[in-house]
Structure 1
Amino acid sequence: MNDEYDKDLVKVCKLYYYEAWTQEKIAEKIGVSRPIISKMLQKAREKGIVEIIVHDESHQTAELEKQLELRYQLKRVLVVPTRDLNKELVTSAVGKAAAQFVQKLIKNGDRIGVSWGNTLFHMVREFPLDKKENVKVIPLIGGTGNERTEVHSNQIAYELSKKLGGRSESLYAPSMVETEELKEQLTHLPHIQSVLAEGKRVDLAVVGIGNPYTMSTLERFGYLSEQVLSELKKLGTAADINSRFINHYGQVVDHSINRKVIGMNLEHLKQVGQVVGLAFGMHKIESITAALRGGWIQMLVTDEATAVQLINSEEHSTSRKQTDD
């Protein structure tokens, strides 16, 4: 008798929860009254046949945001709920959330600096039309060539300025050059010098955080040879921000490549009133941590899985250091 009744309970629950049938429709199908179906659903919960779990993503992500803000003394953190999304959908979700986050920071008359990379590209693509008065977007790093021009800082600056109804500058120079002498020559050209000077006066900077060894845009574009990567690894390099390289502690590494970059250096970036870092993915955990330890960003946009790992990895690092001491 109990087995048969339980089978009936399961049947009713499947129709109600899986097929979204109303209690009236189920009652009509089975040939009983609606109150009986209501009692059967309640009985199914009591017997554990049905478990109701409320996933409060907003609460969970808010806790992650609070922990990261406190740990790294950040102004704001946005953690994007991305559970059960595939990689492509995660990228789109983070881009859209970053667009809404940055949009709220922009005021009339602002000067906005942008670096380059895939995450910034997706942010600009998802950015809504939001006309502002007297807004200007300035590329913070050079970038020339024909490969994936949509992720270059000049193109990102241009596309964002269109969404904001503002103007943009273009920095017509590579992000890196072969020698320090060539960098000095180029940065003294009037137009390049002018754009670099404007970059130092931005009110808001939006930058990506890269991992030089895995899925690196810089390596893909041919800026990082195997020899340079090996040298950077020996120096403990963990991340690049605006094409400048930092170690695990967030310190700028002493390598000649940092002196061949045409763009805003990190000391000037730190002086910007608001700096938003966009980064997510398991391959960027150490890179994001390095950027946070160095205090190079004041706000962070990332996804839920990355935020959890950032907290767990830092706790593990702290625990290990205490043990060593």
Structure 2
Amino acid sequence: MNDAERKFLLKISRMYYFDEWTQAEIAKKVGVSRPIISKGLQKARSEGLVEIIIHDHGFDTIEMENRIESAFGLEDVIVVPSADMAKEAVRTALSKAAASYLQKQLKDAQKIGVSWGTALNDLVKEYPSDAHPHLKVIPMVGGMGSHGIELHANQIAFELSKKLDCQCESLYAPAIVETAEFRNLLLSTPEINRVLAEAKSVDVALVGIGNPFNQSTMKEIGYLGDAELQSLKNAKVAGDINSCFILEDGSIAQNTLNERVIGINTDDLRQAGKVIAVAEGLHKTDSIIAALKGGYINAIITEEQTASDIVSKLEQ
């Protein structure tokens, strides 16, 4: 398949599957016969340019979706079936579902904000090539250093922009700095100030949710040491979203590392057009509930076991 044929197949596939044009309408638009369009769509599938996913949710997952959606006033809840699946298979299924959901949110978007972490890195890996040259991807939190580079917001923004064939901003600052004074100094620099100002007005925001005390990526890459973890425990932190630490009721934790984070905070996050969270794992259940209580999220994508634990805790 040469580049011209590939471009043609992608074009008619987008018109057929995304824009919901009929084959006859596409044929008239591009100036070929309808059978050519039909054969082209079949070839796009056989060559792997188009992948069709059937979301066969069981009754239990639909009930969980409705329960969580109602409890927190969410726009969407997607629970990926995970019974009898290996951990890596669950991660892949979750990432595919998240990528598919994101695709549907980009029709009227101009700016996408991204946080950081394993869930978003996995999402971008599963996201198909889908050109949206009018878009811009913006990191919503800093992230520099030699560890876990692929998980940092800058790298995730860059990789997603390649998939979308669009512009990308970079935030040249760490996620957490040594002192509040240094943070304020960095925030006053024109370039960092400009990028964060853009991050506060994104149409779609992608975030993960973390538990700083259990299987913490922030600890693994060196942002959290023993002193920082003890400080968070003393403050009764329940989790973090976009590296902003929150309490059990969803409110922002005071007198913690939040005063040293380079990124938009949860109040800023509420200003985004739509905030989509991707998170799973029983160790994150309380953190997810805290983020949902805070009202920072419009949609969440998780898997069956995590959703079941959330529902169980809502009923306690």
Q: Could you say which TM-score interval applies, normalised by the shorter chain?
A: 0.7 to 0.9
1:182 matches 2:175:
no
**Counterpart residue number, 1:51:** none
Matches within 5 A, 1:190-201: 190-201=190-201
**Letter paired with 2:227:** Q
Question: 1:146: how far off?
Answer: 1.6
What is the alpha-carbon distance in structure 1 between the residues aligned to residue 229 and residue 147 of structure 2? 21
Q: Is the 8 A contact 1:107 1:132 kept in 2?
A: no
Question: 1:102: how far off?
Answer: 1.0
Q: Is the 8 A contact 1:114 1:153 kept in 2?
A: yes
**Counterpart residue number, 2:7:** none
What is the alpha-carbon distance in structure 1 between the residues aligned to residue 261 and residue 298 of structure 2? 23
Structure 1: segments with no counterpart, 5+ residues: 1-55, 317-325
What is the alpha-carbon distance in structure 2 between the residues aligned to residue 274 and residue 242 of structure 1? 15
Deviation by residue 1:64-87 (Cα, 9 ceiling, x = unmatched): 111110011101001011111111
TM (norm. structure 2) is 0.80
**Counterpart residue number, 1:132:** 132
Secondary structure of 1:255 counterpart: coil
Structure 2: segments with no counterpart, 5+ residues: 1-55
What is the alpha-carbon distance in structure 2 between the residues aligned to residue 109 and residue 115 of structure 1? 17
TM (norm. structure 1) is 0.78
Matches within 5 A, 1:46-195: 57-107=57-107, 109-195=109-195
What is the alpha-carbon distance in structure 2 between the residues aligned to residue 84 and residue 152 of structure 1? 31
**Counterpart residue number, 1:253:** 253
Question: 1:236: how far off?
Answer: 1.5
Secondary structure of 1:309 counterpart: helix
Question: 1:109: how far off?
Answer: 4.9
**Letter paired with 1:177:** V
What is the alpha-carbon distance in structure 2 between the residues aligned to residue 109 and residue 293 of structure 1? 26
**Counterpart residue number, 1:285:** 285
What is the alpha-carbon distance in structure 2 between the residues aligned to residue 117 and residue 278 of structure 1? 10
**Counterpart residue number, 2:302:** 302
Could you say if the C-alpha distance between residues 101 and 278 of structure 1 is closer, same or farther in structure 2, counting changes exceeding 3 Å?
same
Deviation by residue 1:121-160 (Cα, 9 ceiling, x = unmatched): 0000000111124100000000001212111100100111
| Rg comparison, structure with higher value | 1
What is the alpha-carbon distance in structure 1 between the residues aligned to residue 109 and residue 78 of structure 2? 25
Question: 1:164: how far off?
Answer: 1.0
Question: 1:231: how far off?
Answer: 2.2
Could you say if the C-alpha distance between residues 171 and 196 of structure 1 is closer, same or farther in structure 2, counting changes exceeding 3 Å?
same
The farther-off stretch of 106-115 and 304-313 is 106-115
**Counterpart residue number, 2:262:** 262
Secondary structure of 1:300 counterpart: strand
**Letter paired with 2:71:** R
**Counterpart residue number, 1:8:** none
**Letter paired with 2:112:** I
Question: 1:255: how far off?
Answer: 2.1
Question: 1:108: how far off?
Answer: 5.0
Segments of 4+ moved more than 6 angstroms: none
**Letter paired with 2:300:** L
**Letter paired with 1:203:** D
**Letter paired with 1:208:** G
Secondary structure of 1:239 counterpart: strand
Q: Is the 8 A contact 1:68 1:311 kept in 2?
A: yes
**Counterpart residue number, 1:19:** none
Secondary structure of 2:267 counterpart: helix
1:226 matches 2:226:
yes
What is the alpha-carbon distance in structure 2 between the residues aligned to residue 315 and residue 307 of structure 1? 13
What is the alpha-carbon distance in structure 2 between the residues aligned to residue 145 and residue 232 of structure 1? 22
Secondary structure of 1:238 counterpart: strand
What is the alpha-carbon distance in structure 1 between the residues aligned to residue 272 and residue 148 of structure 2? 28
What is the alpha-carbon distance in structure 2 between the residues aligned to residue 290 and residue 169 of structure 1? 30
What is the alpha-carbon distance in structure 2 between the residues aligned to residue 214 and residue 165 of structure 1? 36
Question: 1:57: how far off?
Answer: 3.8
What is the alpha-carbon distance in structure 1 between the residues aligned to residue 109 and residue 229 of structure 2? 41
Q: Is the 8 A contact 1:291 1:297 kept in 2?
A: yes
What is the alpha-carbon distance in structure 1 between the residues aligned to residue 302 and residue 266 of structure 2? 21
**Letter paired with 1:237:** V
